Amino acid sequence: MKRIPVSGPSISEKEIAYVTDAVTNAWYANANVYHERFERAFAEYHGVRHAVALPSCTSALHLSLLALGIGPGDEVIVPDSTWIASAAPIQYVGATAVFADIDPQSWCLSAESVEAYVTPRTRAMIPVDLYGNVPDYAALQAIARRHDLAVIEDAAEAAGTWSHGRPAGTFGATGTFSFHGSKTLTTGEGGMLITDDDAIHQRVLVLRDHGRAPGDTMFMNREVGYKYKMSSMQAALGLAQTERIEELVARKRVIFGWYREELGDCEEVMLNHEAEGVRSSYWMTTAILPDRLGGKAEVIRRLAGEGIDCRPFFSPLSSLEAYAQTQPASMARECNMVAYRLGAHGVNLPSGLNLERNDVARVGAAVRELLSQR
């Protein structure tokens, strides 16, 4: 039986040609050619002035916090339902992560919950575009203005998503992206920070190169910084993928459409929501399943037995051992009912770009079989 993987990229002859050229020629005087082309193409797609290629979205979040001057004594609000990479950089800079609940439809940061968690120490929020969807940025930005908070958009999972005429990643002081091998747009490992703020951009360029000013050839470091760079081969791959981004998102949307055909009439299944005015990239087709199936671990186990690989909906950060002893986690465990309810029963279904219609039909049939067992 063919095993259906949970995720994976689309690699064409264009990517192979660009990477081959990079490994052959992107040295000496041409060492930065693909970095510059990739950053320029990514910035142009998003309609921003600056894009900085980095080794991960985590490093982009880290540099965003540093560039905004966030540190010890500050609080930063993040959604409870996300990968730990959204919150870990807050600890890197010595600030405190505060976990807010998510919206029951978008599964993204709830503006109402954010408002409840704001204190005099709150300096910023990091909304996460979960699984390719976006939160209510109008409501979040209104809160940010009211309380003088910075917004750092974690668009790790949302390359190619648009909301009300704007691409994901452009709703904050910075936007951050992941190009992990599982993502819609990949460099194997890698990330990007975008911004329209010249001061943030200049600060990021210094911090990501061991505290060395751009253009410095004398190795005169101004401060202790970080080694956050990307190889030419990764940049070449990212450039090719950026040039194909609309094709890749279109394929993701076709795959989600197949799942909607297979499972959309199942009253007990909740699939990804797409609000009016939003074009989701549907990075991960996700199903919230009924309690009676025994929880996400049991569903994943049973589907694995059918040769179908799945991932769990993110468990609340406040439930993880990494944060178990913190005061914000204690508060979140009492208050964040949506994150805990959805996190217990959500499953990411296979969403790789190599999926065919018959693969999705097989997954749909397997899910329906689980639902039929009373």
CATH of the domain at 256: 3.90.1150.10
Quickly list DSSP for 323-354: TTTSHHHHHHHHH-HHHHHHHHHEEEPP--TT
40: pLDDT strictly greater than 70: yes
Categorize the per-residue pLDDT at 44 as very low, low, confident or very high, splitting at 50, 70 and 90: very high
pLDDT in tens, 6-24: 999 999 999 999 999 999 9
Whether 35 and 181 map to the same domain: the answer is yes
Query: Residue 26: is its pLDDT beyond 90?
Result: yes
Contact residues for 237 (Cβ-Cβ < 8 A; gap 6+): 15, 18, 19, 186, 187, 188
The predicted model scores a pTM of 0.97
The answer to whether 263 and 49 have CB atoms below 8 angstroms apart is no
Among 213, 243, 273, the domain boundary falls at 243
pLDDT at residue 325 is higher than 80: yes
Residue 99: strand pairing partners: 78
Considering the domain boundaries, does residue 294 fall inside one? yes
pLDDT of residue 373: 87
Residue 267 pLDDT? 94
Query: pLDDT tens-digit profile of 263-303?
Result: 999 999 999 999 999 999 999 999 999 999 999 999 999 99
Report the distance separating Cα 46 and Cα 36, nearest Å: 16
Does the annotation mark 183 as catalytic? yes
Average pLDDT of every residue of the chain: 98
194 lies in a domain?
yes
Alpha helix (H) residue ranges in the chain: 13-25, 33-46, 57-67, 88-92, 111-117, 137-147, 198-207, 232-243, 245-263, 296-304, 327-335, 337-345, 357-372
Domain edge (last residue) among 211, 243, 275: 243
Please state, for a pLDDT cut of 90, what percent of the chain lies above it.
99
| 1 vs 287, residue with greater confidence | 287
Same-domain status, 258 and 157: no
Q: How confident is the model at residue 1 (pLDDT cuts 50, 70, 90)?
A: confident
- Mean pLDDT confidence for 155-170: 98
CATH code, 220: 3.40.640.10
The answer as to whether 279 is a domain residue is yes
Decide: helix, strand or coil at residue 119.
coil
Overall average pLDDT of the 320-331 stretch:
95
Give the end of a domain, one of 179, 208, 243: 243
Q: What is the pLDDT of residues 67-87, one digit of tens each?
A: 999 999 999 999 999 999 999
Give per-residue pLDDT as tens, 52-72: 999 999 999 999 999 999 999
Confidence of residue 374 (pLDDT cuts 50, 70, 90): low
Cβ proximity of 72 and 64 under 8 Å:
no
| Structural domain includes residue 252 | yes
Same domain? For 287 and 366 the reply is yes
The answer as to whether 3 is a domain residue is: no
Of the listed 2, 183, 229, 296, which one is catalytic?
183
d(CA 310, CA 296): 10
Task: Assign 106 to helix, strand or coil.
Answer: coil
Answer yes or no: do 249 and 176 share one domain. no
Q: Are residues 125 and 35 in the same domain?
A: yes
CA dist 60 and 152 (Å) reads 10
pLDDT per residue over 364-373, tens digit each?
999 999 999 8
For the segment 197-256, what is each residue's pLDDT rounded down to a tens digit?
A: 999 999 999 999 999 999 999 999 999 999 999 999 999 999 999 999 999 999 999 999
Tens-digit pLDDT profile for residues 327-348: 999 999 999 999 999 999 999 9
- Determine the structural domain holding residue 302 and report its residue range: 245-372
Residue 187 burial (10 A CB sphere; 0-12, 13-18, 19+): buried
Reading the block at residue 243, the tokens are 């040039």
Q: What is the DSSP letter of 209?
A: B
